[in-house]
Structures are given as structure tokens and as C-alpha cells.
A and B are shown apart, each in its own frame.
Chain A
């Protein structure tokens, strides 16, 4: 069975600095999708970035980028120039290509210090 692990329950970063959130996953599939979702205090889940396993190039969305290491089954999220609005719970998630069920990690709570 697939699992997603986030080993950092809480992280903090100084405003304007860079922070990296870790995620590892376990799967026997060769083709799949990985996601990072952000959940601010409003509780709505917001997609931050996604990565297709068959793509070697790391995905980037503005200040957010990932470091996808397929062999190591690692998928970390880097937030550059952190802003106060980045404070939220961040969830790493996995989904097999052929089945639309998403498996979420336990989440990392990110605080941004002014």
C-alpha cells in the first residue's frame, strides 16, 4: 500500500527567507502524481504545485518549487522569499495515475516570523 510521510510536524521561517518542507512516499508504481496542498486557517485546501513522476524536470510555481528524487522517493517543497501569507498547514499527497484516490501525508505546520 502506498504511504506518504512528512517527518516535520512543525516548521518556522523568517519572513523573506527560504524554507524546505520534506516529504517521502512509498510506492511500487513507476507512474504517478505528487502534490503539495496548502491549508491556511480558513481550512480550505489549495493546490500549490504538482509533479508528474515521468517528468524529470522539477515543477516550479512562482516562489514554490519542488525537489523530486524518484529513486529516493522524496518530494520536498521549497518556498522562497517567504511571506506572512504562506503560514499554513502543508500536505504532501500522492496519487496513482490509473486510480483517482489521493493519499495524503499528516501535514507540516509552517509559521512565518515577521
Chain B
């Protein structure tokens, strides 16, 4: 099992450019999440999904969009990148609580994004 993978690992964007971050998991998890990590602020939830075809806003959703067309993939899009979106982005997945799954989230290795 690869677990949770993220592509790309690192990207530099200019202000106004768009890009998509891909997260994939091979554990058949229902729940998937996108976080951003900034110095001194821990991880903040951007968007999450409780199943294929569903998405919901987290703590800091503005400027981002997501899609969950397939259960194993969760895409994070930046339509018009801003310097404030310079951060490290983490994807995570977990079993569904309602299926009696574990409370543990499994994280990907992160994507470092620099917006100039």
C-alpha cells in the first residue's frame, strides 16, 4: 500500500496563476481532507469530503475549490493564486466514523507551494 500520496511535491506559482494539487489514497477511506500548514499556526482545515461526490468547507476555504469525483482522489484547486496561499499543503484520509472505523487520520507527505 502506498497510503496517501500527493503530487506535486513542490511548486512555484506567480500571482494569478492556477493549479491543482492531487491527493490519492489506496486504503478505501471514505473521508479525505486538505490542510494547510503555516509557521506557528499548526494545521488548518481547508476543505474535506465525507465520500465520493461530496465536499464541505473547513476553517479556511476561501480561495480554494475541491472535487472528489473518485473515492480514492481528492483534488485541491487554486483558481487565482495569491502570495497569502504560500504554504505547505497536506492531504489526509480516514475511515468513516459511521462505519465503525478508526479515529486516525493518515497524512500524505505534503506539497510545498510558493506564490510569488
Contacts and interface: CB of A to CB of B under 8 A. Distances in A.
Interface of A: 4, 9, 33, 35, 37, 42-47, 50, 52, 91, 95, 97-98, 100-102, 104-107
Interface residues of B, number: 27
B42 A107 contact: yes
B45 to A, nearest CB: 6
A102 B108 contact: no
B88 A43 contact: yes
Contacts of B45: 101-102
A35 B31 CA distance: 18
B68 to A, nearest CB: 14
A81 to B, nearest CB: 25
Given A9-B40, A43-B88, A106-B40, A101 B105 contact: no
A50 B104 contact: yes
Contacts of B23: none
A43 B109 contact: yes
Contact of B48 (A9, A47, A101): A101
B92 A45 contact: yes
A33 B112 CA distance: 29
A101 B107 contact: no
8 contacts: A43-B88, A100-B50, A100-B94, A101-B45, A102-B45, A102-B105, A106-B42, A107-B42
B39 to A, nearest CB: 9
B12 interface: no
Contacts of A107: 40, 42
Contact of A104 (B43, B48, B104, B108): B43
